[in-house]
Structure 1
Amino acid sequence: MSPDRKLPRLPLSAVFPPPPGPGVPGDPGVCPPGGPFRRVHAERAVVLGGPAAILLQVAHPLVAEGVAVHSDYTSGPARRLLGTLQAALTVAFGDTAQAHEMARSVGRQHARVRGVTRTGSPGTPAGTPYRANDPHLALWVHATLVWTARRVAHRYAGLELSAAERERHWQESKPFARLFAVPDDVLPGTVAEFDEYFAGTLRRLVVTDAARRVAADVLTQRTAPPLPGIAALVRSVTSDVLPEPLAVAYGTPRTRGRRVVATATRELLRAARPVLPRRIAQWPHAEVARRRLDAGAQVLQPRASTAQV
């Protein structure tokens, strides 16, 4: 980021996105309730992985080109990160209509993102076409969200998934992916295939100048009121979450200072998580989803009693 340009400040209230309306009683939404996918994404700590997810996404040259040409992170990257967060939470925890409407809204924005690369990079020559709703690019974006959420929930909230839960977490993420233009024939079938796909894509990523410009803005956070050290915290946690070669490529290697900050943050959050009230530890979207399901059960109970009589 240019030293003479300052990004807009983010009001701290924006870090607490409001949940959608109560929705239709009993409607489970598109993502299965009660499973590891919702359990992972309910954790507020997952927001710490937002910058890492963005940097993973734009390390794909076609995604980076689309962001560079069609998105203006410089007008307020934190706001855009939180807009993405709100969309993800609505799809994950809203009722069916709310999830579909949010996905349609994002789809309308993505429909305008298309073009050809202006410069070349290893494996991606200049003039390569791209479009945001390309199923393979959409899969990569989805994969970064799944991977970072799973990693951050484990490292910073102490939520460790068994092998069976990791499989279920991946399967439960598929309805989310389908809403964002990722068809079944593109989705990896099992979590083992997902992990293989993710590792293979990582090996082909290239951090271009366009990606570095996005990173410079994403990693420079300014809040209102000011929070001293917030940018250093974001860089330290992002360096800890990213695969190390990418952290180095983005200029945020795991220095001793960053390791100390990330470790202290990790230990503090993991120690606090078991004693935090659910309304603090989890997004309100998850509570709205629970109440919606409970309301549906209450509606059905009188009918069941009448049938028994």
Structure 2
Amino acid sequence: MNAPAPAAHARPPLRANNYGFFGPDSPSWKVWAAPTAIVGFQRSVVLEHFDPFLAAAVANSQGIYRKPAVRLDHTLAYFLTVAVGDGERALLESEHLMGIHAAMTGIEPITGKRFAANNPASQLWIHVTGWHSVLKCYEMFGPGPLSADEEAQYWRECVIAADLQTCKTSDVPTNREEVREYFAQMRPQLCTSEAAMRGMHYLLRTDYPTAGLKFWLASRLMAPVTIATLPSWMRKLGGFDQPGVIDRVAIVAAKRAVRATLNPVIEQRVIGAVAPMTSATLREHRLSPIPTDPRVVTPAEIRAARTTAASTAS
């Protein structure tokens, strides 16, 4: 879901203390720091609106309509931080985001049930669509499929990252087949509404001048590419299907664009034109020195260390 712009809070360096939850050789570092992640992100925030409760939460907050570029940039930067930041920074950002989401509650108009942005089921949909979409775009547009071992590790890392949200890690798919099963289980619950249709189409093609010229243009350039990655039933349900010839042209264009931005400096500059916080996170990721404790940690370990530090201080 699109995160509200966080209130100002102190952000420590991206990777001062450790290598975070995955480390330099992890597939998560490769996939989330690749230029294809921005297309995968657009894909995921569109898909989130098929969940009526998330669509209602987004419509209720109105954040993407007031400041779409800021909201989306902050959200993508958050996912990137979880993937490549140290454990302390990732946990800080996740707690800050959950604190903002805590206020996003109300009544979903289709079911008449209460929605909450931090609901575990909704958070699971956000998490799975995000990690799946970013990997799919990495595979489709370059650099290409992960090895079998890397893909297995990627889904293990997806489970670890879920521990920073309210979803149950035991519910997170652990391989590609389980992801397919999850989507199959979710399909009967997915639907569109006036709020969902507005959100999906707005995220594919934002308005000018609200989003700014660069973001307005970028969303429209990416939209055919994003749509080309989606199954026919989703495209038809969302009302944004496109002819196969556009799919083919979009895929070829996207592959060429990715090849042109595989250099991390070029990638950083291109993304910086539309997502400055994400670009700054990529730059910090690229330039971060070896952390003081150069090892991979777990969310539980970081939480325990924080508890110990707090008890010692008191």
What TM-score bracket applies, with the shorter chain setting the length? 0.7 to 0.9
Return the match for 2:52 from 61, 72, 79: 61
Return the match for 1:112 from 103, 113, 117: 103
Please report the TM-score for the alignment, with normalisation by the length of structure 2.
0.76
2: distance between equivalents of 1:185 and 1:297? 29
Return the match for 1:82 from 73, 83, 88: 73
Write out per-residue CA displacement over residues 74-124 of structure 1, whole angstroms, 9 at most, x where no aligned residue: 113233211110111122211111111100110001111222212x2xxxx
CA contact (8 A) 2:201 2:240 kept: no
Return the match for 2:16 from 16, 19, 24: 24
The alpha-carbon deviation at position 149 of structure 1 amounts to 0.2
Partner in structure 1 of residue 145 of structure 2: 160
CA contact (8 A) 2:131 2:158 kept: yes
Partner in structure 1 of residue 86 of structure 2: 95
Gap change, CA 1:261 and 1:83, over 3 Å in 2? farther
2: distance between equivalents of 1:238 and 1:56? 11
Return the match for 1:148 from 119, 130, 133: 133
The alpha-carbon deviation at position 129 of structure 1 amounts to 2.1
Partner in structure 2 of residue 280 of structure 1: 266
Helix, strand or coil at the partner of 1:185: helix
**Root mean square deviation, CA, Å:** 2.8
2: distance between equivalents of 1:205 and 1:212? 13
Helix, strand or coil at the partner of 2:36: helix
Partner in structure 2 of residue 169 of structure 1: 154
CA contact (8 A) 1:78 1:218 kept: no
Helix, strand or coil at the partner of 2:166: coil
Helix, strand or coil at the partner of 1:115: strand
2: distance between equivalents of 1:241 and 1:76? 26
2: distance between equivalents of 1:70 and 1:297? 40
Please report the TM-score for the alignment, with normalisation by the length of structure 1.
0.77
After superposition, residues 213-292 of structure 1 pair within 5 angstroms as 213-221=198-206, 222=208, 224-225=212-213, 230-256=218-244, 258-272=246-260, 276-281=262-267, 285=281, 288-289=284-285, 292=288
* Aligned residue type for 2:137: V
Please say if 1:178 is aligned against 2:163: yes
The alpha-carbon deviation at position 29 of structure 1 amounts to 1.3
* Aligned residue type for 2:192: V
Instruction: Structure 2 unaligned segments of length 5 or more: list them.
Output: 1-10, 269-278, 295-314
CA contact (8 A) 2:81 2:90 kept: yes
The alpha-carbon deviation at position 69 of structure 1 amounts to 1.2
1: distance between equivalents of 2:162 and 2:71? 20
Helix, strand or coil at the partner of 1:130: strand
Gap change, CA 1:242 and 1:173, over 3 Å in 2? same
Q: Identity percentage over the alignment? A: 25
Partner in structure 2 of residue 37 of structure 1: 28
2: distance between equivalents of 1:60 and 1:227? 25
Q: How many residues align?
A: 271
CA contact (8 A) 1:93 1:286 kept: no
Please say if 1:210 is aligned against 2:210: no
Gap change, CA 1:268 and 1:97, over 3 Å in 2? same
The alpha-carbon deviation at position 256 of structure 1 amounts to 4.6
CA contact (8 A) 2:53 2:108 kept: yes
